[in-house]
Structure 1
C-alpha cells in the first residue's frame, strides 16, 4: 500500500491537516515542522497524488524554463546553464514540480513560450540569461509569476537572482592590485548590462588603490575564447598590454591565456590573469586559472524557492537577490 498523509501524521503524532499544509510549505506552518514532515515523507517513501493536488489547488505543477538562444553558441554558457538547471531540478523535484523548456525565439508568436502561455500550462516561469524584452513584457502582462536568473535588467521591480558581478569584478581586480601589478586591464563582454556591472567593480578597485583608468586596457569580447584570443594578440601588436587582466568569464580568460602564450609570453610571469565563473572546464587549463567562483547551482535553487513562494502568494523578501562569489587562488595570478 502506498504511504498516505495519514500515515505521516500518525508517524509524527500530528494532524493530517498539518502534514498537508507542511507538504505545501504553507506560511502557517513553522520551518521546523516543514522539515520534519519532509524528512518523514522521504523516509516513508511518500508519493503525492499529483492529479488530486491539481484539482484541489487549481495549479498545474509545471514551471516554464526559458533559456537564452546563446546556450547554442558558447561552451561556458552551456556549462553555466547546466549547473543552474541542476539546482533548479533539485528543488523542483522536491516539491513535485515538472519543468517545461523553451528557447528564446525573439518574441515569435509560434514560439514554445507562447504555446505554454496560451494553454495555461505553467504556474510560473524562470528565465535564464538574457532574453528579449518582448518575452519579459509578455510574461509581465500574463500575470504569471516570473523570476529572472543571471539577468541584469535596469528594472528593479522584476524578481531576480543573480551573481554579484560587481563584487566579483572588484575582488578579482583588488587581488591583482594587491599583488603589486602596476596596471590591470579588463576583458569585458558585448552584453551591455553584464559588462556594466563588472566594469563598475573593476573601476571601484582601481579608484580605491589610486590606479589610473586606461581606456585601451578595457576591451570587449563576444563571449568566446576566439574573440579574446584575437583581442589579446591585437593588444600585444599595438603595445597596449597591461601587466594583469581581469576577464569576465573563464572561457574568455582561456582565450586571453592562449593569446599570450602563442605570442611568446608567460602566464603569470609576464602577464597575470584572473577569470570569473569557476566552471568544470578549468580542470584542463594549464596553468590552473585563478578565478572568482560563482555559486551557480545555488542561484538555481534560490530562484525556484522564490518562484514557488510567489506562486503560493507567500513571498515577502527582496525583489533582487545577489549571491556573493568567492575568489579562488590558483596559478595564473602569480600569488605565492
Structure 2
C-alpha cells in the first residue's frame, strides 16, 4: 500500500504537508499547483483515501467522524515541532486503521462557533478546559486529551511526566559539576470560555523546585517567553547583555535551545566550553545543530498514535477512563560538555 512518505518523497514536500492536503486540512496555506501535484502523484501511485479503505478496515466501525482540536494556532504549531509530531501521529494512526478523520480544528476558529455535529469522537491537543469543551459541543461519544489531563475521572489522556523528564536534564547537569544553571522556557496557557490563564509550565516549576532544593536557584537567570527559536535567541541575548550568563542552561524546547546557541556563538561564547546547553524534545534539528544538542527525547508521534488507540479501545467497550504516561529519554550529545569532561577524567586532553 502506498504511504504518505512515498508520496512526499516523489512530490518533494514534507510528509506533514502531504498528509494535510490528502486530509483536506482547510487551515493549510499551499498553492493550487502544489495541491494539484500532490493529488496527482497520490493518484498515480494508487494511494487510497480513508473512505476508500474503510471497506477493508479490521477495526470495529467507529460511529461518526474523528476530529482533532488543537489549541495552538498554525503559526505556533509551525514554530514548535512538538505539536506537529503529535498531530502527525494522530493522522498516521487514523490512516492505518481506516478511520474517517475530519479536518483539523483550530481553537481560534471555533470560539465563536461550534464543533460540527458530524464529529462524534474528538482528540484534544493542548490545554483546553472542560468548560470550554462543553461550550463547543454537547454531542461527543468520546474525548481523548493529549499532552494535558483535565478530568481523569471522565476523559482518557496521553501525557508525559514533565517533572521526571526535567529532572533527567537538570540532574545530569548537576552531576557534571555545573551549579550556576539558568532556564529558558515558554509560557503555558490554558483556554477557558471567556479567558485564558497563564500557568507556570511544568518544566519551569520542576527546574525551580530542584534548584531551590540545592540552594542554587537564581530568579534573574530563569527567563520565559514563547516556544520558538527567535525567543530562545532573544532571551539568551537578554542574559548576555545584562551580564547574567550562567555556566549551563536548560531550555524547555529544542527550538529555544537552538536560538540560545546562536545568540551565544554570535557573542563569542563557546558551547560547551563556556556555556553548556540541554534542550527538550529531540527534534531532527537537535542532532544537526552547530553544536549537536543534548536533549530529552519525547515520543511525540507515539503520543498521537496512542490517543487514537485509546479512543478505539473506549468505543469498543472499555468503561473506565485511562491515563497513559509515555516515557522520556535523555540523549547525550556534545552541547552539555559531558564527553569533554569524561575525556578529562581519563587524562585525555
- 8 Å Cα contact 2:54/2:99 also seen in 1: no
The 2-side partners of 1:49 and 1:152 are apart by 34
* Structure 1 runs not aligned, ≥5 long: 1-46
Which of 203, 217, 220 is the matching residue for 1:216? 220
Give the secondary-structure state (helix, strand or coil) at the position aligned to 2:245.
coil
Which of 271, 283, 289 is the matching residue for 1:285? 289
Deviation, structure 1 residue 48: 5.7
RMSD over aligned Cα atoms = 2.8
Which of 245, 248, 254 is the matching residue for 2:249? 245
Which of 180, 186, 190 is the matching residue for 1:189? 186
Q: Does residue 92 of the first structure (1) align with residue 94 of the second (2)?
A: yes
Q: Does residue 236 of the first structure (1) align with residue 224 of the second (2)?
A: no
With normalisation by structure 1, the TM-score equals 0.73
Query: How many residue pairs end up in the alignment?
Result: 277
* Aligned 1:3-22 pairs, distance under 5 A: none
The 2-side partners of 1:324 and 1:116 are apart by 34
- 8 Å Cα contact 1:166/1:199 also seen in 2: no
The 2-side partners of 1:75 and 1:97 are apart by 25
The 1-side partners of 2:94 and 2:77 are apart by 26
Give the secondary-structure state (helix, strand or coil) at the position aligned to 1:142.
coil
Deviation, structure 1 residue 145: 1.1
The 1-side partners of 2:319 and 2:182 are apart by 41
Which of 202, 208, 220 is the matching residue for 2:207? 202
Change over 3 Å in CA distance of 1:192–1:181 after alignment to 2:
farther
Q: Does residue 146 of the first structure (1) align with residue 150 of the second (2)?
A: no
* Structure 2 runs not aligned, ≥5 long: 1-52, 191-198, 340-349
Please name the residue that 1:81 is paired with: 83
Please name the residue that 1:173 is paired with: 170
Deviation, structure 1 residue 315: 4.7
* Aligned 1:81-160 pairs, distance under 5 A: 81-100=83-102, 101-105=104-108, 107-110=110-113, 114-117=114-117, 121-131=118-128, 135-138=132-135, 141-151=138-148, 153=150, 155-157=151-153, 158-160=155-157
Deviation, structure 1 residue 140: 6.8
Which of 317, 323, 330 is the matching residue for 2:333? 330
Give the secondary-structure state (helix, strand or coil) at the position aligned to 1:151.
coil
Give the secondary-structure state (helix, strand or coil) at the position aligned to 1:105.
helix
Deviation, structure 1 residue 204: 4.0
Change over 3 Å in CA distance of 1:264–1:74 after alignment to 2:
farther
The 1-side partners of 2:266 and 2:200 are apart by 27
Deviates more, 1:124-133 or 1:279-288: 124-133
Change over 3 Å in CA distance of 1:145–1:278 after alignment to 2:
same
Please name the residue that 2:270 is paired with: 266
Give the secondary-structure state (helix, strand or coil) at the position aligned to 1:65.
strand
The 1-side partners of 2:67 and 2:129 are apart by 16
The 2-side partners of 1:139 and 1:131 are apart by 11
Please name the residue that 1:14 is paired with: none
